[in-house]
Amino acid sequence: MDYKNENLINPEIQMLQLPVSFHKKTRQNLVEAMKGVAQGRSIALFRGDTTKPIQDQDIEENFQQESNIFYLFGVNEPDCHAVLELDTGKSVIICPRIPEAYKLWMTVKEAPYYKQTYQVDEVKYDDEFEAYLKEKNPEEIHVYFGVDPDSGLTLPLPEQPFLKSYNIVNDKMYHILNELRVFKHQEEVDQMKFIGDVSSEAHVRVMANTKPGIREYQMEALFKFHVQERTGSKEKSYDCICASGNEGPSILHYHDNQRIVTDNSLILNDMGSKYNGYCSDITVTFPSNGKFNDKQKEIYNAVYDAYISVLRSIKEGVQWQDMHHLAEQRILEHLIKIGLVVEAPIDELVQKRVGAVFMPHGLGHLIGLRVHDVGGYAPGHPEKLKDLAGLRSLRTRRTLKAGMCISVEPGCYFNKVILEQAFNNPEVSKYLNKSKIEEYTCVGGVRLEDDVLITKDGHFNLTNVPRTVEEVERACAGLPWKN
Amino acid sequence: MDYKNENLINPEIQMLQLPVSFHKKTRQNLVEAMKGVAQGRSIALFRGDTTKPIQDQDIEENFQQESNIFYLFGVNEPDCHAVLELDTGKSVIICPRIPEAYKLWMTVKEAPYYKQTYQVDEVKYDDEFEAYLKEKNPEEIHVYFGVDPDSGLTLPLPEQPFLKSYNIVNDKMYHILNELRVFKHQEEVDQMKFIGDVSSEAHVRVMANTKPGIREYQMEALFKFHVQERTGSKEKSYDCICASGNEGPSILHYHDNQRIVTDNSLILNDMGSKYNGYCSDITVTFPSNGKFNDKQKEIYNAVYDAYISVLRSIKEGVQWQDMHHLAEQRILEHLIKIGLVVEAPIDELVQKRVGAVFMPHGLGHLIGLRVHDVGGYAPGHPEKLKDLAGLRSLRTRRTLKAGMCISVEPGCYFNKVILEQAFNNPEVSKYLNKSKIEEYTCVGGVRLEDDVLITKDGHFNLTNVPRTVEEVERACAGLPWKN
């Protein structure tokens, strides 16, 4: 066994911290936005995430901070609460008091640490929280409470028994705070560009080191190694999707990652990471042996056309749903040309949802402190659709505005279940060339996904991976890939 | 950026599966052990672990199966239950029924998959569970319920509302099943040797690639990469401890892993992994620049002497607490020789708990499907001590028997908090040479940890890492390290 490798661990790691001034600004913005909503001596109370044992063991799940408390206070330790006084703007972190004896077992952080690191106005221990509240005597305690439109879930509320004697308001702050989070500050864009770059490098490294015969999870392992080795991050944006062969890439959230990569197949790697709270979400598709075959290239270029058309069109003022339709149309045009879809007016194909047979998911989602970020559906913006295939999976239908960060992820798949349904539906099947489609199921699926910042005139790309057929093939060969 | 590396992803991965016959055997053993305890038509009901969203997101925590349902049925998918009929021995897996439409989004496993993979007698969907119970009409439903002595926690019980009409017995099976799990079958030993070998290789690879200037988390990243790249495992045995400098290694469960590795310091890496349910737990200590200095070598050899003395003594019939005392004595002898501890009869030093100033934790713990495995404290065996320093941290005080797997992990630390307490305690401080100890605090701490199987005549080592000073220095240089 010879595992020494001079370049495997490199002291020149990369780091980028959010300045405390950023959190101060987000707090000021929330105080401002809550004016006229919060009455008198009101406070906003946030519950950070907690240490969670794995089952009944004395081992814990990886900690991931709740995103609002992080956004507003920067606090990244478990078992904290935080208060923002909406009348005075004063900020208070409530931290756990950890017994002295624990210093033998762990790094114990005490009040001065929180004060110095996060530069809030005050730090209280959890056993001082009740007395603080009594003194402040707030007329309202605003908490963040709402149903997430993607998951249908809510966050747990603060549950200190002494809160019962106060007026807890849970229906005012959710959309106000979400709306602030939708529009990214420069500091946030810097963070997202940083983790986007590291994740992009990781993807390219995986492409250069993949060959037929390896297991899908080996690609996941290398991706995660690159990100943790470069940044130290153990945070999870989402489960890595490493899909190969003619079935895996057609399953949208496939993350079994157990199969052996076969020769002459496409690999769809949808992997992102999270650093200092902010997420990346990137998908590349590349040939297992480094060279696309003809069918793979045809489908790849259909998706590439959709991808580049959307990137050329997005800017402030554009409706996201129109971008979804644009991607769908581009893909349909290619499929007609190849002969998989019968020639027909594009409007008719769109109306019959033929595009959704091949791209059954939404074009993308807001991204930030969560991979599927908050604010996709909100009062005053288009509602979620219930019925239309593909469109009902859109995670937002908003009009784009500068400052939003969103993923652009068109795809074209040959999914068994969807195709069977389509072939059995006479309304749709009449547009499909079944025998020709069956020739292409070996392609599996293609998805290309970038994260971008919307600007007045276009977009700023947070992702940096090879995209054209030539670039991809160069990256697979381990060559400099940029045109 | 040139990241292509021919050896980074290697198709020759390693795999080892538990045979279904193993789970059949564990079920038969439980049926046997419950005879005379369970009445008439009784069943044992197990609740597998569930998919857990991260906060209110549509992203999930990494799944880790509950260890009893895995032990008895092998089932490794979320949201399952399983039944063992204690009268007939019949085995039933209750699996979730997942809507057809999910096949677009994920790999959907259906009843035939469970039946074929786990070869149980029957598979029911969760919506068929109530009817199955009605037909079986068990007089007792035994569930696994007890307080874990390490964490003080209990596992969640099955909570189907229709269970309320049955006689749920929660005080019979816990210790019976734990006791079966304490004694490992050959198939389990094979698994533990397998993951022990892979984890050992990962440690050696980290040692060969570490140098001053890197960050602690880069060692963690490489360890985890090696394990996942070789085996595919994403399971977590425990959080990686990568501690360097003169403070980190003295904090027993330090896992911040953020510091820069300094020259001329010791690195204490306590990292294990989990494969197919079974854990490894391994600690190495090595010099950051590859060569021990004199003080480091003295303390290292004190711990090595304790380590090798215990390994030479353990076998069936030996009391674990005696091994703890043996380790303590060996370390004290060295500390007296170096001049850190005042010459005094060993019995007196042990009685005054002077050894616990330097080794404040227990010598080790049972290991298996959990890193701190079940059965350490059980009826008919010595109880947990409440008072005596070091000894109260023992996770078991049992008499060793062939078939047990246990970690052997003596250590010697210069922990600020403990030393301050000791210097301020006249009963202890009179045995300590304070100024000399202060000269050695730069050593930080040393821990050496192997996992072993107890045999009639000794032990079988599940770990394979460099241990002598010469071996460690060779491994750090990337050379073949074995004598």
Of B406, B212, B202, B367, the residue nearest B284 (C-alpha):
B202
Of the residues B160, B182, B204, the one at which a domain ends: B182
Q: State whether A54 and B64 contact (CB < 8 Å).
A: yes
Spatial CB neighbours of B185, under 8 Å, sequence gap ≥ 6 = B22, B25, B26
Interchain CB contact of A155 with B (< 8 Å):
yes
Asked if residue A368 and residue A313 are part of one domain, the reply reads: yes
- Please report, in tens digits, the pLDDT of each residue of chain A (483 residues total): 567 786 788 888 778 989 999 999 999 999 999 999 998 999 999 999 999 999 999 999 999 999 999 999 999 999 999 999 999 999 999 999 999 889 999 999 999 999 999 999 999 999 999 999 999 999 999 999 999 999 999 999 999 999 999 999 999 999 999 999 999 999 999 999 999 999 999 999 999 999 999 999 999 999 999 999 999 999 999 999 999 999 999 999 999 999 999 999 999 999 999 999 999 999 999 999 999 999 999 999 999 999 999 999 999 999 999 999 999 999 999 999 999 999 999 999 999 999 999 999 999 999 999 999 999 999 999 999 998 999 999 999 999 999 999 999 999 999 999 999 999 999 999 999 999 999 999 999 999 999 999 999 999 999 999 999 999 999 999 999 997
Spatial CB neighbours of B234, under 8 Å, sequence gap ≥ 6 = A217, B62, B228
CA–CA dist A258, A268 (Å, integer) = 14
Of the residues A146, A181, A216, the one at which a domain ends: A181
- Quick check: is A5 in a domain? no
Interchain CB contact of A12 with B (< 8 Å):
no
Interchain CB contact of B108 with A (< 8 Å):
no
Which of B59, B155, B221 comes nearest A371 by C-beta?
A: B59
| ipTM given for this complex | 0.96
Of A185, A153, A254, the residue nearest A405 (C-alpha):
A185
pLDDT confidence of residue A11: 84
DSSP B284-329: EEEETTSS--HHHHHHHHHHHHHHHHHHHH--TT-BHHHHHHHHHH
Q: State whether A229 and B209 contact (CB < 8 Å).
A: no
Chain B residue closest to A370 (CA)? B57
Three-class secondary structure of residue A48 per DSSP: coil
CA–CA dist B116, A138 (Å, integer) = 61
Asked if residue B305 and residue B387 are part of one domain, the reply reads: yes
pLDDT confidence of residue B2: 67
Number of domains in chain A: 2
Asked if residue B421 and residue B403 are part of one domain, the reply reads: yes
Q: Which residues of B touch A49 (CB under 8 A)?
A: 55
Assess contact for A45 and A158: CB atoms under 8 A: yes
Q: What CATH number has the domain bearing residue A429?
A: 3.90.230.10
Of B234, B236, B222, B230, the residue nearest B267 (C-alpha):
B222
pLDDT confidence of residue B13: 79
Asked if residue A138 and residue A33 are part of one domain, the reply reads: yes
CA–CA dist B243, B445 (Å, integer) = 9
Assess contact for A283 and A367: CB atoms under 8 A: no
Which of B226, B372, B418 comes nearest A58 by C-beta?
A: B372
Q: Shortest Cα distance from A78 to chain B (angstroms)?
A: 13
pLDDT confidence of residue B421: 95
Asked if residue A171 and residue A127 are part of one domain, the reply reads: yes
Q: Which tokens hold the place of A443?
A: 């392609």
Assess contact for B467 and B477: CB atoms under 8 A: no
- Please report, in tens digits, the pLDDT of each residue of chain B (483 residues total): 567 786 788 888 778 989 999 999 999 999 999 999 998 999 999 999 999 999 999 999 999 999 999 999 999 999 999 999 999 999 999 999 999 889 999 999 999 999 999 999 999 999 999 999 999 999 999 999 999 999 999 999 999 999 999 999 999 999 999 999 999 999 999 999 999 999 999 999 999 999 999 999 999 999 999 999 999 999 999 999 999 999 999 999 999 999 999 999 999 999 999 999 999 999 999 999 999 999 999 999 999 999 999 999 999 999 999 999 999 999 999 999 999 999 999 999 999 999 999 999 999 999 999 999 999 999 999 999 998 999 999 999 999 999 999 999 999 999 999 999 999 999 999 999 999 999 999 999 999 999 999 999 999 999 999 999 999 999 999 999 997
DSSP letter at B9 equals S
Asked if residue B258 and residue B147 are part of one domain, the reply reads: no
Other Cβ atoms within 10 Å of B230 Cβ, number: 23
List the strands of the sheet with A266-271, edge to edge.
Answer: A241-244, A266-271, A282-287
CA–CA dist B261, B242 (Å, integer) = 10
Asked if residue B383 and residue B345 are part of one domain, the reply reads: yes
Length reported for chain B: 483
Domain that holds residue A380: 186-476
Interchain CB contact of B12 with A (< 8 Å):
no
Asked if residue B194 and residue B156 are part of one domain, the reply reads: no
> Which residue out of A3, A60, A234, A373 would a mutagenesis test of the B interface target, given it has the greatest number of B Cβ atoms within 10 Å?
A3
Asked if residue A206 and residue A142 are part of one domain, the reply reads: no
Q: B140-143 and B42-47 as β-strands: parallel, antiparallel, unpaired?
A: parallel
CA–CA dist A142, A147 (Å, integer) = 16
- Quick check: is A8 in a domain? no
Interchain CB contact of B40 with A (< 8 Å):
no
Q: Which amino acid is at B265?
A: S
DSSP B105-151: TS----HHHHHHHH--SEEEEGGGHHHHHHHH--SEEEE-----TTT
pLDDT confidence of residue B381: 97
CA–CA dist B303, A439 (Å, integer) = 66
The burial of A119, by beta-carbon neighbours within 10 Å (0-12 exposed, 13-18 middle, 19 or more buried), is given as middle
Interchain CB contact of B482 with A (< 8 Å):
no
